[in-house]
């Protein structure tokens, strides 16, 4: 499978996420679009890791070439889980204070 296909699929997913962040007003959906962008990058990292392991099949340490990319994906998932817990706590607090999750109500930084 050419690496081109994975690159274009990841770019498409990432751009859909960007368009969602720009067009929606619900803070939770904006947050979900950020998760979508993180997953697009994860998919690209795994594809590149498999590409490097395919290119290094003849080297003596071929068993571990490309493992780094998959471990980066693992750490991205760890950070994303921590980010979601804190971010959703912030959204809940925002909802408790202004009774809405509309990001347009937050553009004045006072309330």
Partner 1 sequence: MNITQILFWLLSVTALFGAMMVVTSRNPVYSVLWLILTFFSISGHYILLNAQFLAIVNIIVYAGAIMVLFLFVIMLMNLNKNAEPTRGRWIKFAGAISGGCLLLVLVAALRSTEVSSKSVQVGVGEIGLIKNLGRELFTNYVVPFEISSILFLSAMIGAVVIGKKD
Residue numbers 43-102 binding partner 1 by CB under 8 A = 43, 46-47, 49-51, 53-55, 63-68, 70-71, 73-75, 77-86, 88-93, 95-96, 101-102
In angstroms, what is the minimal distance from the CB of 13 to partner 1? Answer: 6
106 touching partner 1, by CB under 8 A: no
Beta bridge partners of 26: 102
Q: Which is nearer to partner 1, 57 or 109 (CB)?
A: 57
3-state secondary structure 42-84: HHHHHHHHHHHHHHCCCCCCCCCCCHHHHHHHHHHHHHHHHHH
Distance CA 8, CA 40 (A): 10
Which residues in 10-29 contact partner 1 (CB under 8 A)?
A: 11-20, 22-26, 28-29
Q: Residue holding tokens 């998919």?
A: 43
- The DSSP code for 106 is G
Min dist. Cβ of residue 25 to partner 1 (A): 6
Contact between 41 and partner 1 (CB under 8 A)? no
């Amino acid at each position: 499978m050419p690496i081109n296909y994975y690159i274009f699929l990841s770019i498409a997913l990432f751009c859909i996420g960007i368009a969602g962040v720009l067009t929606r007003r619900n803070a939770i959906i904006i947050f979900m679009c950020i998760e979508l962008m993180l997953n697009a990058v994860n998919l690209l990292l795994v594809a590149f890791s498999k590409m490097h392991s395919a290119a290094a099949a003849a080297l003596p340490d071929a068993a571990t070439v490309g493992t780094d990319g998959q471990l980066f994906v693992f750490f991205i998932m760890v950070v994303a889980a921590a980010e979601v817990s804190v971010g959703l706590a912030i959204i809940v607090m925002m909802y408790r204070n202004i009774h809405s999750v509309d990001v347009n109500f937050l553009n004045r930084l006072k309330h």
